[in-house]
Structure 1
Amino acid sequence: MKQNNGTDRKRRTAPAPGVPTPAGSDRAAATPATAAGAPGEAAAPASARGVPDPATAAARGSGDSPLRPRLAVQFGAGNIGRGFMGQLLHEAGFHIVFVDAAAELVAALEAEGRYPLRLLDAARGAAHEMQIDGFDAVAVSERQRIDDAVAAAEVIFTAVGVKYLPDIAPLLASGLRARRAAAAAPLDIYLCENLLDAAGQLREAVSSLLDDEERDWLRHAVGFVGTSVARMVPVLPAELRSDRPLLVVADAFHKLPYDGAARRAPQPPIEGMYPVSDFGAEGQRKLFVYNMAHAALAYLGHQRSMRYVHEPFADPQAMRILRGALDEACAALAAKRPDVFSQEFLAETRADILLRFANPMLQDTIERVGRDPIRKLGRDDRLVGCAMLCLGSGIRPQNVAALCAAALRYNRSGDPDAGRLQRLIAEHGPAAALAEVSGLDPSGDPDRELISMVMEHYGSS
C-alpha cells in the first residue's frame, strides 16, 4: 500500500461541501474508501462515502456549479472502463465512481488512489503515460454507495461486457429508484459494449425490475444510449501485470460516437463524444470495417505463424487481402447508405485502420483478437455479415470470402471455440461447418454463392 505524506490512502477524507479541491492536489475531490458501515454500525452519510447525498442531486442540474465536482459513474473498471472512459471523464473534470465485481481490483484502486494509463500514439510513434486520479472504486456488493452515486450522477457509463449486463440491471434499478425519489435531473446511461443493441437489452432488463409508475418515469427521464468504441486496449504480458497491476495500456484514439436519438439529458462536456443520427449505420461501420479488419489481421497472421496483429502489415499478400476487403466493405456501405457515408468519410475510416492497427507499440496478440472464431463467423457478425452486405449491394466480396476461409482454418491451441470449429470441420467438412456456425442456407443464393466463394479460398489456402 502506498503512503501519501504519512497518511494511509485507505482513509481519505472527503472535501467539505462547497469547497473545491485545490488544483494539482494528490487527488481531485478526494473521498473515503469505507463502505456503508460494518455490521452494527450506522451508515455514514452519502457525502462521507465518496458520493454526494441524493438529496443534493436535484440541485446539481447540469453539474455546472463551480462548488461541486461533476460526478460520473463507470460500471466496469476493466480495459475500456479505465483505459478509455477513465481518461475521457478525468480530462473532462469529472469525479468518477468505478463500480466493479472484482474485489481485488476495487481494493487496489481504493488503496492506491490513482492508476497509470499509457497511451500509444500511432501517428506520432510515441508513448505517453498519465495518471488518472479523482475517483472512488466501489464493489458491487456496496449497494448503498451505488444507490447514492447513481442518484447523484450527471452521467453513467457501462463497460462490463455484454454477458454481464443482466448483472448490473438490479444495481441500476435500485439506484434509479433513489434518483427518482430525489427528483433529480434526467440522466443518460452510455453503453460502451460490443453489441449493437446493448442499450435496448439493458433498458429492458432494468425496466423489468420496476413497477408501472417507475417504468413510465424511466422512459422519459433516463436514456439508454449505445456508443461505438474503437479504442484498442490490449492484454498486458503477465510480467508487466505483476510489476504494475493497475497499469492500463491503450492506443490514443479519442472518439466516441453515440446514438443521438436515445439521449434524454444534455451531452456531457467530454472531448471526442459526438452524436450520430443513424446509430444502426454507425454500428455497421464499426462491425464491418473496424472489427472485420481486426479479425482479418488475426486470421491472416495466424496462417503465417505470427504472434501480433501488426505483423501481417509486413506481408504483401496479407496486405493485398486486407486492403481488398476494406475496399469491398467501404464500397458496400457507400452503396447501401449514401445518405450517411460519404466517400471521404469512409476513406478516413480506412486510413485510420491502416495507421492504428499497424502500431507495433500495442503488441496486441493474435490470440486475443482471433479468439471465438465461431461467433465472428456468425451471419450478422464481422466476416460473414460483411460479405452478405457486399452481396446485397452488388459487390462480389472475394477478399472478405478469403478472410472467412482464414477464420475457418483458425486452430489456435487453447481456444475452445477454435477447437470446436475444427471438430465440426473434421466431422462434416468445411462447407457444412460454415453453414452450421454462420446460419447460411446452402440451398439458395446469396447464401449458397458465399459458401462457394469461401470454399474456393479454403481449398486453395
Structure 2
Amino acid sequence: MKLFGVQFGAGNIGRGFIGHLLQESGLWTVFVEANEDLVAKLRERGCYPLRLIEKDGTFRDVVIDRIEVLSVKEEAAVAEKIAFAALVLTAVGAKNLPQVAPLLARGIEERRMRNPEPLNVFLCENLKDAPAIFREKVQQYLSPEGMEFLKERVGFVGTVIARMVPVLDERFGMTDPLGVVAESYTRLPFDARAVRGVLPPLFGFEGTEHFEAEEERKLFFHNLGHAVLAYLGYLRGYSYVHEALEDMDIERVFSGAWDEVTRAFFRKYPFWNRDEHREYLRDLRARFANPAMMDTVVRVGRDPLRKLSPKDRLIGGALFCLAQGVFPEHVACGCAAALLYDYPKDEEAKALQRMIAEEGVRGVLERVCGVDPESELGKAIERWYRRFQEERRRR
C-alpha cells in the first residue's frame, strides 16, 4: 500500500513546497482543493512542473507526478483518504482554516473506526498558535468518541514555513498555468513535542524541542528583515528586494536591525548555537540577495497594516528587542518606512494612508501598532518617519 499525505490547499505552498517535500520523501500527495478549475486541470494532467531557483541563480526543473486531487466538495472521498493517510497538512491561509475543520473532523471520525494509528496534522500557515486554534475548530464537529480519539491519537503540529515562492509571471520563462517557481530551500522545522506516534522518514522535515525559538527566529529575522528591505526599497524606488540589499544605506539599516534582534534573541535563548545562527543568517542573506528570485518589494510589502500590528514582524520585533533590554533603533527605522508605504494597488496601503491623513502618524502608532507615541520607541519611529517625509519632499 502506497504511503501518502493529504494536503489541504494546492496553492503556492501546497504545490511549491509540500508536494515537493513529500515526493522527495517517496510519498504521494493527495491535494484537497477548493478551486474547481485547478482541481480539473491537475486531475487531467496528473502532474505539474516546479522550477527551483538555486542560491547561485541557476535553476532546475522537476515534475511533481506522485499526486491525486480531490475537490473539497468530495467529502466522503476526503474522509476516506484521511482515514489512511501517513500525515495531513494544511496550507490554505489562516482565514480559510474554519472551512477545512469539518472535513478534517469527518476524516478523524472515519479513521477512528477504521485505522487505530495516530494521525499528525501539520499546520503550514503563517499564523501563531495555528495548531491550538485549528484544533478548537475541529473539535466542534466531533462526536464524544471522536473527541476521545483526537485527544489520544491526533497531533496538531506547528511548522515554520520559510521557502520563498514568488508570484509566477513571464519573468521566469514559465507559461504553464499549473507551474510553480520557488527557491530550492528545503528546511521545514516542526514542533516535535506535538507529534503523536512515529512519523515516516520525511525529507526536509526537522523536528525541534524549541519550537517557540524557531517561530520567533523566522518572524524576527526572515520576516522582519524581508520587510525592512521591502519598505526601504520602495521608498528608494527599487522594484526588487535584491536591489534594496545592494543599496549601502538600506543594507546598513537591515544589518543594524538584525544585530539588534540577534542581541535580544540570545538574551532570551542563551542555549542556542551561535555558529549555527551565524550560518542561518549568512544563508538567509544570500537568499534575499539572489537576483534570480526577482522577488518584488510590493509582494513582500503587501498588507502593511497586518505587518505593523503588535504581534507581527516589525512592531513585534521592536517589542521583542525591548523586552530583552535592547533598544531597536534600526527596527524603528523599518517601522517608519512601512508607515509611508503607499503602493496604489495595495488596499491595505491605501487604508493605512487614509488613517494617517485622518488621525496622524501618532494616532496610527497608538491604534494600529499599539505603541505609545510618547514612549522612546514611539518617538524613534516618528523621528524616522519625519526624516523620510523630508527626504521625499526634497526629491
Separation (CA, whole Å) in 2 of partners of 1:106 and 1:242: 20
Partner SS for 1:190: strand
Asked if the contact 1:69–1:93 (Cα under 8 Å) also holds between the matched residues in 2, the reply is: no
Does structure 1 residue 91 correspond to structure 2 residue 91?
Answer: no
Which residue number corresponds to residue 39 of structure 2?
Answer: 106
Which residue number corresponds to residue 251 of structure 1?
Answer: 183
Bigger drift between 263-272 and 167-176 goes to: 263-272
Offset at 1:326? Answer: 0.8
Partner SS for 1:189: strand
Which residue number corresponds to residue 366 of structure 2?
Answer: 435
Asked if the contact 1:241–1:247 (Cα under 8 Å) also holds between the matched residues in 2, the reply is: no
Specify whether residues 240 and 144 from structure 1 end up closer, same or farther in structure 2 by C-alpha distance, changes over 3 A only: farther
Does structure 1 residue 393 correspond to structure 2 residue 324?
Answer: yes
Partner SS for 2:109: helix
Separation (CA, whole Å) in 1 of partners of 2:172 and 2:163: 21
Offset at 1:343? Answer: 2.0
Question: Which of 66, 76, 79 is 1:144 aligned to?
Answer: 76
Does structure 1 residue 451 correspond to structure 2 residue 378?
Answer: yes
Runs of 4+ displaced beyond 4 Å: 238-242
Which consecutive unaligned segments of at least 5 residues does structure 2 have?
A: 389-395
1:25-424 counterparts in 2 under 5 A? 68-122=1-55, 124-237=56-169, 243-339=175-271, 341-424=272-355
Offset at 1:306? Answer: 1.3
Asked if the contact 1:294–1:369 (Cα under 8 Å) also holds between the matched residues in 2, the reply is: yes
Asked if the contact 1:152–1:184 (Cα under 8 Å) also holds between the matched residues in 2, the reply is: no
Separation (CA, whole Å) in 2 of partners of 1:88 and 1:242: 21
Which residue number corresponds to residue 6 of structure 1?
Answer: none
Asked if the contact 1:408–1:434 (Cα under 8 Å) also holds between the matched residues in 2, the reply is: no
Separation (CA, whole Å) in 2 of partners of 1:392 and 1:177: 44
Offset at 1:101? Answer: 0.3
Which residue number corresponds to residue 7 of structure 1?
Answer: none
Offset at 1:132? Answer: 0.5
TM-score (ref. length: structure 2) = 0.95
The one-letter amino acid of 2:91's match is: A
1:124-160 per-residue CA deviation (whole Å, 9 max, x = no partner) reads: 3310000000211111001121011101101111111
Specify whether residues 358 and 242 from structure 1 end up closer, same or farther in structure 2 by C-alpha distance, changes over 3 A only: closer
The one-letter amino acid of 1:295's match is: A
Offset at 1:314? Answer: 1.7
Structure with greater helix percent: 2
Asked if the contact 2:365–2:372 (Cα under 8 Å) also holds between the matched residues in 1, the reply is: no
Offset at 1:212? Answer: 2.3
The one-letter amino acid of 1:278's match is: H
1:294-348 per-residue CA deviation (whole Å, 9 max, x = no partner) reads: 1111101100111111111221001011011111111111111113x23223212
Specify whether residues 79 and 241 from structure 1 end up closer, same or farther in structure 2 by C-alpha distance, changes over 3 A only: farther
Which consecutive unaligned segments of at least 5 residues does structure 1 have?
A: 1-67
- Greater C-alpha radius of gyration: 1
Offset at 1:240? Answer: 6.8
Tell me the percent identity. 45
Separation (CA, whole Å) in 1 of partners of 2:269 and 2:19: 33
Separation (CA, whole Å) in 2 of partners of 1:211 and 1:134: 34
Partner SS for 1:243: coil
Asked if the contact 2:84–2:115 (Cα under 8 Å) also holds between the matched residues in 1, the reply is: no
Which residue number corresponds to residue 43 of structure 1?
Answer: none
Asked if the contact 1:330–1:346 (Cα under 8 Å) also holds between the matched residues in 2, the reply is: no
Specify whether residues 78 and 456 from structure 1 end up closer, same or farther in structure 2 by C-alpha distance, changes over 3 A only: same
Offset at 1:241? Answer: 9.4
